[in-house]
Chains A and B, each alone.
Chain A
Amino acid sequence: MSSLDRFYRGLINGCGVISAVLIGVVAVLVTLDVVMRNVGLSNLPWIVEISEYSLPVATFLSAPWLLHSNQHVRVEILVSALPHQVARRLDQLADLIGLAGSLALVWYGIRIIVDSRAIGSLIIKTLVFPEWWLFVPLPAGAALLVIEFVRRMLNRSLGAAS
């Protein structure tokens, strides 16, 4: 395994680990908030917001990891009934469509960041910060999806050649 391979695998698995840990940390934070509030100690309204913002981060980071480990939900009934050759063609087509969608998400993800920065939109709740921060996980996760789709397609065509 080349060092590039190792790095890539580490990166993808790292995404999964970060999502997992994030969920755990937020669960603990929310619990703290409930307990503190009900004992009358203090109110930590920013925790609600953090838990809300953690969902997109966890989702977009876990998406490439789930693709890498083939865990995204798909309907396999037709493909599995077809002859091997045809099924492989369809898999290639499916990867191509996934690639196109991910590319669009990267491109328009970046566009909304640029847009939002230009207007200077702010999120003003308990926490105040520029709106574009919220958008960063989208193109970041989608970029990894692009890489993963390309890798799958290369692997498939290399597999066919050998």
Chain B
Amino acid sequence: MSWQLALLLLFGMLSTLMAIGVPVAFAFVAVNMVGAVVFLGGDAGLMQLARNAVASITNFSLTPIPFFVLMGEVLFHTGVAMKAIEAIELLIRRVPGRLAVVAVVAGTVFSAISGSTIATTALLGSLLLPEMLRRGYEPKLAMGPIMAIGGVDMLIPPSALTVLLGSLAGISISQLLIAGILPGLLLSIAFVGYIIISAMLVPGLAPRDDEFKRVSGWARWRPLIVYVLPLFVIFGVVIGAMVAGWATPTEAAALGAVATVVVAAAYRALTWRGLMQALMGTAAISGTILFIIVGATTFAQILSFSGGANGLVSLVAGQGLSPMMVVAGMMAVLIMLGCFVDQVSMMLITLPFFMPLVQVLGIDPLWFGVLFLICMQLGLLTPPFGLLLFTLKGVAPPHITMAQVFRAVMPYVLFSAGMLLLIMLIPPIATWLPRMMFK
């Protein structure tokens, strides 16, 4: 079979199965079964498929995923995150679009401690959105920042998806985690600027918000020290332990997860019920991610056995295109894919093609990894399959329509696309910090 036909068969089946609503993990399993019979020699290939299914997730580099997710879930279910948001709210006053700014700042803080974009979006959405709508914020201004900052959570460590990308693409996980910090912060700052400027220019967007609690002095700063500072300490411990080489990413993640539980206990916020909810939420989120890997893991192998991966890679590499053009092409593919499939599938489908190209063309894998992350972040926010759009819709009041949600997120999608372009042109935005820290 020619490699073109092999690719057509494998991807044709995969997209058909996904489109008719087969859960993606099972779509991969089904395609792999056919692929194993056609390309891997039938019975022996199917045995290999079963062995791979187990081997793919018996992998120390994947163990940070549940722990990073657990950190966010604990703060969410014990209510500690809520206290932190209230503390931040006390500090931000007399700013146009105040609560929207609070959402971005609180989301940035929270993302430094949560490895789950869904937890961040759900938390801010259920907490701040009803309040903003009640005070007369335009739904567009109320919802957009919450989804946008949820996406940024993916860039700011800890981040479960970053771990997965590093593991699957063979990029240093610690360096990739650090590399997301600067682009993430820059995006947060840009969001705040955009909110303030648009609230000033279009007066109907946000009410003149004088409803803040009038406290001053110690009463104003105390909550920050009590509820936000410890979170930063945990962040420092997790990142510091990794950078200093005291702990592997897995160990740092486990430390962070245990530390959040300890902090919650110190606030007397820890209950068995809350802890169990956090653990169940963690099992659900990491289970869905890891089970897709189980299903998809043989897919890459079949792609290379069928000659499909190689054929396409050498076709692209042989065109004499500049590395920049190839990278731009890959980003375009990712952005398109991101509209329709989830982040884990995006990685599993494209990495078998992309990483060999990155190698052949001498592209910096760390830089490429950050670009990949931003494309996935865009995928979280772009209709029709943006996960965070549905997360927000799930916690929003019933009168909010999906179309309103789509419209609200659009400006922030443009910002992220702009960041993608900026990092393509100025790679040090992504690579300077990790290179300096891991010298």
Is this pair of chains taken from one and the same complex?
Answer: yes
Of B1-9, B57-65, B84-92, B222-230, the one contacting chain A is: B57-65
What string of 1s and 0s marks CB contacts (under 8 Å) between B254-279 and chain A?
11011000000000000000011001
Number of interface residues of A (CB under 8 A): 60
Question: Are B258 and A67 in contact, CB atoms less than 8 angstroms apart?
Answer: no
Q: Which residues of B contact A53 (CB under 8 A)?
A: 58
Q: Which residues of B contact A137 (CB under 8 A)?
A: 54
- The distance from the CB of A48 to the nearest CB of chain B, in whole angstroms, is 7
Can you name the residue of chain B whose Cβ is closest to the Cβ of A25? Answer: B279
Task: Indicate whether A134 reaches chain B with its CB closer than 8 angstroms.
Answer: yes
Contacting residues, chain A, for B49 (C-beta < 8 A)? 108
**Bound complex: CA of A48 vs CA of B249, how far in Å?**
12
Q: How far is the CA of A4 from the CA of B276 in the complex (A)?
A: 26
The smallest C-beta distance from A40 to any residue of chain B, in angstroms, reads: 13
Bound-state Cα–Cα, A107 to B67, Å: 32
Interface string of B35-75 (1 = CB under 8 A from A): 00000000000110111011001111011001100100000
Q: CB-nearest residue of chain A relative to B32?
A: A101
Which parts of A53-96 form the interface with B (CB within 8 Å)?
53-56, 58-60, 62-63, 65-67, 69, 71-79, 90-91, 93-94
For B66, what are the chain A residues with a Cβ–Cβ distance below 8 Å?
23, 27, 55, 58
A77 and B384 in contact, given A135-B54, A138-B50 (Cβ under 8 angstroms): yes
Tally of B interface residues using CB under 8 Å: 61
Q: Report the Cα distance A69→B176, complex, angstroms.
A: 34
User: Does B292 touch A at the CB level, under 8 Å?
Assistant: yes
Q: Answer yes or no: B305 CB below 8 A from chain A CBs.
A: no
Given A78-B21, A111-B50, do A34 and B255 touch, yes or no (CB 8 Å)?
yes
| In contact, B33 and A138 (Cβ under 8 angstroms) | no
**B287 near A62 (CB under 8 angstroms)?**
yes
Asked if A11 is an interface residue, CB under 8 A from chain B, the answer is: no
- In B392-439, which residues have CB < 8 Å from any A CB? none
Q: List the B side residues contacting A16 at CB < 8 Å.
A: 280, 283-284
* A66-B284, A100-B30, A111-B50 as given contacts; A34 in contact with B254, CB under 8 Å: yes
Given contacts A51-B250, A73-B24, A134-B58, contact A63 B47 (CB under 8 A): no
Hey, which chain A residues are within 8 Å of B292, CB to CB?
Answer: 73
Asked if B22 and A74 sit within 8 Å, CB to CB, the answer is yes
Using A34-B251, A38-B246, A51-B60 as known contacts, say yes or no to A90 and B21 having CB atoms under 8 A apart. yes
Identify which of A26, A27, A74, A109 gathers the most chain B CB atoms within 10 Å of its CB.
A27
Q: Tell me which of B12-20, B126-134, B373-381 binds A.
A: B12-20
Quick one: CB contact mask for A108-123 with B, threshold 8 Å, 1 for yes? Answer: 1101100100000000
A101 near B47: Cβ-Cβ < 8 Å: no
Number of A-B contacts (CB under 8 A): 192
Known pairs A38-B246, A97-B26; A17 contacts B280 (CB<8 A): yes
Q: A59-B287, A63-B287, A134-B54 are in contact. Are A20 and B258 (CB under 8 A)?
A: no
| Docked pose: A120 CA to B365 CA in angstroms | 41
Contact check: which of A19, A33, A34 meets B283 at CB < 8 Å?
Answer: A19
> Is the Cβ of A24 less than 8 Å from the Cβ of B279?
yes
Please tell me if the beta carbons of B23 and A109 are within 8 angstroms of each other in the complex.
no
A residues less than 8 Å from B54 (CB atoms): 56, 134-135, 137-138
With known contacts A27-B258, A108-B49, A55–B59 Cβ distance under 8 A: yes
Using known A-B contacts A33-B251, A77-B385, A90-B20, determine if residue A66 contacts B291 with beta carbons closer than 8 Å. yes
A-B contact pairs, 13 of them (CB 8 A): A16-B280, A24-B275, A30-B250, A34-B241, A55-B290, A63-B294, A66-B291, A74-B22, A78-B19, A97-B22, A100-B33, A137-B54, A138-B53
- 6 closest A-B pairs by beta carbon, nearest first, are A62-B287, A30-B254, A108-B50, A20-B279, A101-B29, A72-B23
Residues of B with Cβ closer than 8 Å to A? Answer: 17-27, 29-30, 33, 46-47, 49-51, 53-54, 57-60, 62-63, 66-67, 70, 241, 246-247, 250-251, 254-255, 257-258, 275-276, 279-280, 282-284, 286-288, 290-292, 294-295, 340-342, 344-345, 384-385
